[in-house]
Amino acid sequence: MLTYLLKRLTSLVISLLVASLVIFLVVEVAPGDPASFMLGLNAQPDTVAALRSELGLDMPKHARYLGWLSGMVSGDFGMSYTYRTPVAQMISDRLWVSLPLALMALALSTLIAFPAGLFAAARRGSAGDMGVMGATQLGVAIPNFWFAMMLVLVFAINLRWFSAGGFPGWEDPLLALKALTLPAIALALPQAAILTRVMRSALLDILGEDFMRTARAKGLSARQAIWRHGLRNALIPVLTIIGLQFSFLLAGAIIIEQVFFLPGLGRLVFQAITQRDLIVVESVVMLLVFAVIVVNFAVDLAYAVVDPRLRSRR
């Protein structure tokens, strides 16, 4: 187990370093001057020169990379050029919206997918299975912003249970959660559809395994056999998808954030790109990479919890 942990940790650190280097190279070293790019075509040469020195672009590249890296480690992401505020502050404000939103959506999609997948797998070929599979087909096909608009129409405009958009802040946690509920549902539905299909097929694979027959021979009913022996074995592919979905939900909510006027990470990146605020873009991208890698690490650890063969592998 310790070896497994060490190996995963080593690979985590190496992935982070490689990712940071790639991001740095793409943004800063690639042909074209970031400063003149940020200021646009009609910028005055002296303004460009001023920005260059402000950004430290006149320093050697390796020093800039190390400076950027050590800054990030100590929580200093630099200043936003457009807003003139520390990027770290901007990101953390937005994270307080995006992270809870992603977690809510993930929890919802898991809560929908597990029972639905189990139901469909246990009744393979039945009308119930076909109904679930049809619903997931729709869920995958229909874009989440359409769900979002329908939710707004029904629950905000007609029923007036929720507000149609905006985020009141976390002063009143209940109000904040309420504001995030509709967007979380809209985000969760397509993810739940995918996860249901994965869950169903993973379970069907497991149902054909010899040890499921052994379980029945012991006297377990079909249902008991699935619960006691099927579920945990089916978790491995499901965990993989959950890990991928979390990373996607964290930053992939741009459209949903637009529909609900939520000040999340997605909107931040979108605005930063349109305003050519490279420093913000770079920092958010690095943060997302960090999230993806850490989530993958967590998924790897979860594998080891689920599967003893990984724990003892040397």
Partner 1 sequence: MTGDTLLSVEGLSVAINGKTILDDVSLTLAAGKILALTGESGSGKSMTALAVMGLLPGRARATGAIRLGGTDLLTRTEAQMCDLRGNDIGMIFQEPMTALNPVQTIGDQVAETILIHGAADRQAARIRAAQVLGRVGLPQDRFPLTRYPHELSGGQRQRVVIAMAIALRPKLLIADEPTTALDVTTQAQILDLLQSLVREEGMALLMITHDLAVVSDMADDIAVMQRGKVVETGPTRQLFARMAHPYTRQLFEASGHRVSLPPHPPADRPLLEVQSVSRDYPLPRRLPFMPRQNFRAVNDVSFALMQGDRVGLVGESGCGKSTLTRAILGLEPVQEGRILLDGAPVFAHGHPNLEVRRKMQVVFQDPYGSFNPRHRVGKLITEPFHLLPAQPGASERQDRIAEALTAVGLSPGDADRYIHAFSGGQRQRIAIARALIIRPELIVFDEAVSALDVRVRAQILDLMADLSRQYRLSYLFISHDLSVVRTITDRVLVMRHGRIVEDGPTEQVYTDPQHPYTRQLLDAAPRLPEITPESPHAPA
Site residues (CB under 8 A) for partner 1? 3, 6-7, 10, 209-211, 213-221, 224, 228-229, 232-233, 306-309, 312-314
Q: Measured from the CB of residue 220, what is the shortest distance to partner 1 in angstroms?
A: 6
Which is closer to partner 1, CB of 235 or CB of 250?
235
Burial readout 192-202 (b: 16 or more C-beta within 10 A, e: otherwise): bbbbbbbbbbb
Cβ neighbors of 90 (< 8 A, separation 6 or more) are 80, 83, 268, 280
DSSP string, 192-214: HHHHHHHHHHHHHHHHTSHHHHH
Q: Measured from the CB of residue 30, what is the shortest distance to partner 1 in angstroms?
A: 33
Supply the Cα-derived Rg of the chain in whole angstroms. Answer: 24
Q: Report the candidate in 249, 278, 282 with the shortest Cα–Cα distance to residue 266.
A: 249
Q: Measured from the CB of residue 314, what is the shortest distance to partner 1 in angstroms?
A: 5
Q: Measured from the CB of residue 291, what is the shortest distance to partner 1 in angstroms?
A: 24
Which is closer to partner 1, CB of 79 or CB of 207?
207
Which is closer to partner 1, CB of 155 or CB of 227?
227
Tell me phi and psi for residue 172, to 5 degrees: -110, 100
Which is closer to partner 1, CB of 47 or CB of 214?
214
Which is closer to partner 1, CB of 82 or CB of 224?
224
Span between the terminal Cα atoms of the chain, in Å: 8
Which is closer to partner 1, CB of 197 or CB of 229?
229
Q: Measured from the CB of residue 111, what is the shortest distance to partner 1 in angstroms?
A: 23
Q: Report the candidate in 86, 83, 81, 76 with the shortest Cα–Cα distance to residue 47.
A: 81
Measured on CA atoms in the order 40, 43, 45, 46, is the torsion positive or negative? negative
Cβ neighbors of 216 (< 8 A, separation 6 or more) are 222, 225
Which is closer to partner 1, CB of 27 or CB of 310?
310
Tell me phi and psi for residue 148, to 5 degrees: -60, -45
Q: Measured from the CB of residue 198, what is the shortest distance to partner 1 in angstroms?
A: 18
| Burial of 94: CB neighbours in 10 Å, binned 0-12, 13-18, 19+ | buried
